[in-house]
Amino acid sequence: MTSIRGSQFVTAVILWPIIFELCSAQGEEMTTESTATDYDDNLTYTIDFSGYPELCSKEANRNFRQWFLPTFYSIICFLGFTGNLLVILTYFYFNRLKTMTDVYLLNLSFADLLFVLSLPFWAFNSLANWVLGLAVCKIMHTVYKVTFYSSMFLLSSISVDRYFAISKAVSAHKHRARAVFFSKISSGIMWVLALIFSIPEMTFTTINNNTCTPYKSNNDTLRVNLQTGQIILAFIIPLLIMSFCYIRIILTLSQTRGFERNKAIKVILAVVAVFLGCQLPYNIVLFWTTIVTANGGTTECNNENSQFYATDVTQCIAFFRCCLNPVVYAFIGVKFRHDVLKLLKDLGCLSQERFFQYTFAKRKTSMPTETETTTTFSP
């Protein structure tokens, strides 16, 4: 027994320097980023967290969205609802469906009105956890995409109709009776196409992290495909069509003289400015996010937050187009403004004195060559 204890003692004495060196080497490899205290031995040690991924804080972005999105959604909803409802009531009250553009403008107002009615749900989705269920979530995104695509198709059709009405005036006048019927058929086709292009939203929209979204994650391949298709179908193609038609219209009008020519060119420039001003910033950001997503996403927290800020701001600008469409495409015409004022007078929203004051002032400043409809020169 004594010999065993002696051998254990000798072994401990021999191994002790080795154990001490190993413990010292391990202590030197530990770096300090966070410190914890062992209250039993009163020892302080450090742990290295440099190898762990850092979580990106989005608290500032959430605070920004909580006041920015509801505020702008409310403004867009009120202005868009009022303006587009006035256009729809005026068209039905005065039976103004006399040209192809009239039919397209009526459908455009229906699309914009339907979209702005969905904005309260968008505001709710940005403020709190989504508790309205998957069905309402799918309906919200489907309504957005259907109205979005149909609006872009209708804006392109309006530019094509204005091109034939002005640049090809003789042939367009011959087929004017059939043109209205064709515009109703083509409008129905555009709504069907918009519904078909919205099928991915109906299918893939889900509730992810208590948020209604059509994407499973920022790195989802589906997101790349959907955003690429949206950029091509709802921006690049309409932009090319509108650019060709309005350039040809301006070239045709530049060969004429008079006040009407200058007024028509200003209207066309206003139409193009509204389209580019509302859609171009959002599509640039959408293209940026699509590239980032296709490359696997970003690991930079600042870049990710900047992407969120840019998307929120430019998307609200794009939504604001619903408020400007009635002004640019309908109210800019003298006859249409007169009909709106008469409608407000008949509804009791405008007094007889105010009505005559506004209409008399417009008659004094308007030219006698102005036509009955708003669509001869106004796109």
Residue 123: give its domain's CATH number: 1.20.1070.10
Element (H, E) at 275: helix 259-294
**pLDDT band, very low/low/confident/very high, at 370 (cuts 50, 70, 90):** very low
Which region, left, alpha or beta, applies to residue 373 given φ > 0 means left and ψ of -120 to 50 means alpha? beta
Q: Compute the distance between CA of residue 186 and CA of residue 100 in angstroms, rounded to an integer.
A: 10
Of the chain, the end-to-end C-alpha distance in Å amounts to 110
Question: Residue 36: is its pLDDT beyond 50?
Answer: no
Phi, psi angles (nearest 5°) of residue 37: -115, 130
To the nearest whole percent, how much of the chain has pLDDT over 90? 37
Is 32 domain-assigned?
Answer: no
Is 13 domain-assigned?
Answer: no
Is 237 domain-assigned?
Answer: yes
What is the average pLDDT value for the chain, to the nearest integer? 80
* Model confidence pLDDT, tens digit, residues 167-222: 877 676 677 778 888 999 999 999 999 999 999 888 888 888 888 888 766 557 88
Range of the structural domain that residue 296 is part of: 59-365
**pLDDT band, very low/low/confident/very high, at 293 (cuts 50, 70, 90):** confident
* Model confidence pLDDT, tens digit, residues 47-97: 554 555 556 777 888 888 888 999 999 999 999 999 999 999 999 998 888
DSSP state of 96: -
Is 24 domain-assigned?
Answer: no
> In terms of pLDDT, which residue wins out, 92 or 376?
92
Element (H, E) at 28: helix 2-29
| Residue in this structure with the two tokens 């087929």, named with its chain if needed | 175
The closest of 166, 176, 184, 189 to 260, measured between CA atoms, is: 166
Question: Residue 357: is its pLDDT beyond 90?
Answer: no
**pLDDT for 39:** 46
**pLDDT band, very low/low/confident/very high, at 38 (cuts 50, 70, 90):** very low
Structure tokens at 219: 């790195």
Q: Compute the distance between CA of residue 292 and CA of residue 288 in angstroms, rounded to an integer.
A: 6
Question: Residue 152: is its pLDDT beyond 90?
Answer: yes
Is 128 domain-assigned?
Answer: yes
> In terms of pLDDT, which residue wins out, 14 or 191?
191
Taken in order 256, 260, 263, 268, is the CA torsion positive or negative? negative
Count of domains for the chain: 1
Is 29 domain-assigned?
Answer: no
DSSP state of 75: H
Contacts of 109 (CB under 8 A, 6+ apart): 84, 85, 87, 88, 91, 325, 326, 330
Is 37 domain-assigned?
Answer: no
Is 53 domain-assigned?
Answer: no
Pairing relationship of beta strands 43-47 and 34-38 according to DSSP bridges:
antiparallel
Question: Residue 11: is its pLDDT beyond 60?
Answer: no
Q: Residue 42 carries which side chain, given as an amino acid letter?
A: N
